[in-house]
Amino acid sequence: MNLAMRRRKTLRTGMSGRQLLVAQAALVGGVITALFVKEFPGIVRELRIYRMTGGLRAHRRYP
């Protein structure tokens, strides 16, 4: 029999596609969470400044 026509037996010991997607989603979620936690104090500071300047109601004071 021709070697090209024979099916080779493969040993699959790695992760399945679904497990890989779950691992990637967990990694991306962890990176996004770490970035949000790192930037949270700056976001809060910017929101406080925005509220002190009047927010959306300050059109006439700050053109």
Write out the chain in H/E/C secondary structure. Answer: CCCCCCCCCCCCCCCCHHHHHHHHHHHHHHHHHHHHHHHHHHHHHHHHHHHHCCHHHCCCCCC
Residue 3: pLDDT above 70?
Answer: no
Residue 28 identity (one-letter amino acid): V
pLDDT in tens, 9-60: 666 667 798 999 999 999 999 999 999 999 999 999 999 998 888 887 777 7
Query: What pLDDT score was predicted for residue 25?
Result: 97
